[in-house]
Structure 1
Amino acid sequence: MDAVKIKETLDRGGMVFGCMISAMGTIRFQRALAGSTLDFVIIDCEHGSRDRKEIQELTTMFRAIDIAPLVRVPVPMAHYVAMAKDAGAAGVLVPYCEDLDEIRACVATGKYHPMKGEYLRRAVAEGKFPSPKTKEYLENRNRGSIVIIGIESEPAFKNLDAILDIPLIDAIFIGPNDMTTSLGIPDDWANPKYLDVLKTVIRKSEAKGMPVMIHQSTMESSIRAIELGARFVMHSSDVRLMVAAMQEQFAELRKVAGARAVSARDTAETV
Structure 2
Amino acid sequence: MTPAVPARTLKQKFAADGHAFGPMVIEFFTPGMAAIAAAAGADFVLYDMEHSGAEIGDIKEQCAAARGLGIAPLVRVPSGEYHFVARALDAGAEGIMVPMVESAAHAAEIVSFAHYPPKGRRGAAFGVAHDGYRGGDPVAKIAAANGRTLIIPQIETKTGLEAVEDIAAVDGVDIVWVGHFDLTNFLGIPAAFDHPDYEAALARVLAAADANGKPAGFMAADEAWAEAYYRRGFRAIAYGLDHLLFQKALAGGLSLLNGLAAATPARG
C-alpha separation in 2, matches of 1:4 and 1:35? 17
C-alpha separation in 2, matches of 1:81 and 1:33? 24
Q: Does 1:173 align with 2:172?
A: no
C-alpha separation in 1, matches of 2:77 and 2:119? 19
Which position in structure 1 is the counterpart of 2:205? 201
C-alpha separation in 2, matches of 1:13 and 1:193? 31
- 1:204-234: per-residue Cα shift (whole Å, max 9, x none)? 2012111011113232222211110000011
- Work out which of the residue numbers 14, 18, 37 in structure 2 matches 1:14: 18
Matches within 5 A, 1:134-145: 138-145=142-149
C-alpha separation in 2, matches of 1:114 and 1:94? 22
Alpha-carbon spacing, 1:67–1:115, altered in 2? closer, same or farther (3 Å): same
Q: Does 1:112 align with 2:116?
A: yes
In structure 2, give the amino acid aligned to 1:98. E
Whether the aligned pair in 1 keeps the contact of 2:116 and 2:123 (CA below 8 Å) is: no
Cα distance, 1:143 vs structure 2: 2.5
C-alpha separation in 1, matches of 2:74 and 2:62? 10
TM-score (norm 1): 0.81
- Work out which of the residue numbers 144, 156, 159 in structure 2 matches 1:155: 159
Which position in structure 2 is the counterpart of 1:214? 218
Matches within 5 A, 1:74-153: 74-112=78-116, 138-153=142-157
Alpha-carbon spacing, 1:61–1:205, altered in 2? closer, same or farther (3 Å): same
Cα distance, 1:114 vs structure 2: 11
Cα distance, 1:259 vs structure 2: 4.7
Which position in structure 1 is the counterpart of 2:130? none
Number of corresponding residues: 248
Structure 1 SS opposite 2:256: helix
- 1:20-43: per-residue Cα shift (whole Å, max 9, x none)? 100112214455444221111111
C-alpha separation in 2, matches of 1:10 and 1:115? 21
C-alpha separation in 2, matches of 1:258 and 1:28? 36
Structure 1 SS opposite 2:96: strand
Whether the aligned pair in 1 keeps the contact of 2:113 and 2:122 (CA below 8 Å) is: no
Structure 2 SS opposite 1:222: helix
- Work out which of the residue numbers 194, 197, 208 in structure 2 matches 1:190: 194
Which position in structure 2 is the counterpart of 1:58? 62
C-alpha separation in 2, matches of 1:115 and 1:53? 27
In structure 2, give the amino acid aligned to 1:65. L
Cα distance, 1:51 vs structure 2: 1.7
TM-score (norm 2): 0.82
C-alpha separation in 1, matches of 2:108 and 2:176? 14
Whether the aligned pair in 2 keeps the contact of 1:78 and 1:102 (CA below 8 Å) is: no
